[in-house]
Amino acid sequence: MKELILGGARSGKSHYAQELATNSALPVVYIATATAEDEEMFARIEKHKADRPSDWKIVEEPVSLALILQQEASQNKFIIVDCLTLWLTNLIGLKQNTFMQEKENFLKVLPQLTGNMVFVSNEIGMGVVPMSSMGRKFRDELGWLHQKVASLCDRVTLMTAGISVKIK
């Protein structure tokens, strides 16, 4: 089972993903894509770490998501990828060919993966149009990524105000 969990900031996406993992009774692999570029982000990452159960395996991977998923995916594990938004942020800052290759690798490997996994991501396309061309490019790239991942997942859930709404 593959599930894409979308929602705005502080909508309950990560909490919901963690509940699904806990309820599965499987060993959990938590793939964190965030990088600490400043003190505030470092504090956010530390809070996320403190909120996770100590027996979960944590893999910090900001770029090579496809490779890590190939290594970790199995019927005997529950995988959380948190989050695709930060992963795309990390990719978009790389050379164009690296950006495209990592994204293509992920989308190519996703249908081949077995086991239970959830992908957390921010739904940013419902807000205002970004003022900068880079902001618009990011919004568009994330929207296209969501469409492709949603088509490859068994379920898609939208989180709002801590409430999960099944879309697919």
For 62-86, the pLDDT digits (tens) are 999 999 999 999 999 999 999 999 9
Residues linked to residue 121 through DSSP beta bridges, in sequence order: 6
Compute the average pLDDT of residues 119-127: 92
Q: What is the structure's pLDDT at 104? A: 96
Of 165, 162, 168, 167, residue with least CA distance to 16: 162
Write down the catalytic residue from 8, 26, 35, 48.
Answer: 48
Query: Cα–Cα distances in Å, from 107 out to 20, 84, 87, 149, 150?
Result: 23, 12, 13, 7, 11
Looking at CATH, the fold of the domain delimited by 2-166 is given as: Rossmann fold (3.40.50)
d(CA 95, CA 91): 8
Question: Is 146 in the active site?
Answer: no
> pLDDT at residue 87 above 90?
yes
Q: What angle do CA 13, 5, 9 make, to 5 degrees?
A: 40
> Percent of the chain having pLDDT more than 90?
77
